[in-house]
Amino acid sequence: MTEEPAAALDRAFFDRPPVAVAPDLLGRLLRCTLPSGTVELRLTEVEAYAGPDDPASHAYRGRTARNAVMFGPPGHAYVYFTYGMHFCLNLVCGPADHPGGVLLRAGRVIEGVDPARRRRSTSRRDQDLAQGPARLALALGVDRTQDGEDVVAGPVFRLLPGSPPPPAQVRSGPRTGVSAAADTPWRFWIDGDPTVSPYRAHTARRRPAGR
């Protein structure tokens, strides 16, 4: 009686533009298996980032060493380091000549609460464990080591069908923390879910000391 692993989403799932993939990711299950523990979460908030046409996308200025994975095959993880201390996890999607991705902004941990809580020592409630993109990456144990990992059938990640919410519960709005293309409603979330991160408009960084 071997337990059959649940069927993963088809690879063609990611062979669509980010704006089409993003809302379709809501309610899906992402499982991450690492030596430090296995964590599975239900995605509740995502953001789409397109390619050269999207000034907010890391792919906007062309291929670099950092964003090379975005220009590779869809269905892989793009992990970047930001603000000097945080990692964020994206899923690469769209045709190879239209590099894009979906930022995973929030989710509800449904398995592996213990390892997630160990990594998120400051988190008080279960709903806070993956509430926000950097928190989500930390709860899963993701860092740059996972950059480029296969999300469909890789040893680390596995994306499962899960239970998509009814269309009426899917909401959209401006992307968070983005100064460019702020009027593009490419952030999608499950309405009323407590794990969705609070919206915060982009705030300009204060001038360095010394006036």
Partner DNA sequence: GGTAAGATCCGCT
Partner DNA sequence: GCGGATCTTACCT
Site residues for DNA per CB under 7 A: 47, 49, 56-59, 61, 64-67, 78, 81-86, 88, 90, 101, 103, 120, 122-123, 132-136, 175-179, 197, 202-208
Identify the DSSP state of 76. B
Q: Which is nearer to DNA, 85 or 168 (CB)?
A: 85
Q: Which is nearer to DNA, 84 or 155 (CB)?
A: 84
Beta strands per DSSP E along the chain: 29-34, 37-49, 77-82, 86-93, 100-111, 157-160, 170-173, 187-190
Q: Which is nearer to DNA, 6 or 20 (CB)?
A: 20
Smallest gap from residue 186 Cβ to DNA (A) = 11
Which of 171, 151, 175, 193 minimizes the C-alpha distance to 23?
Answer: 171
Q: Which is nearer to DNA, 6 or 199 (CB)?
A: 199
Smallest gap from residue 115 Cβ to DNA (A) = 16
Q: Which is nearer to DNA, 6 or 88 (CB)?
A: 88
Smallest gap from residue 2 Cβ to DNA (A) = 37
Q: Checking DSSP bridges between strand 86-93 and strand 77-82, what pairing results, if any?
A: antiparallel
Q: Which is nearer to DNA, 98 or 161 (CB)?
A: 98
Smallest gap from residue 63 Cβ to DNA (A) = 8
Rounded distance between C-alpha atoms, residue 160 and residue 152, angstroms:
9
Smallest gap from residue 141 Cβ to DNA (A) = 14
Backbone angles phi, psi at 34, to 5 degrees: -130, 165
Smallest gap from residue 112 Cβ to DNA (A) = 18
SS3 58: coil
Rounded (10°) CA dihedral 176, 182, 185, 186: -60
Which of 38, 60, 136 minimizes the C-alpha distance to 91?
Answer: 136
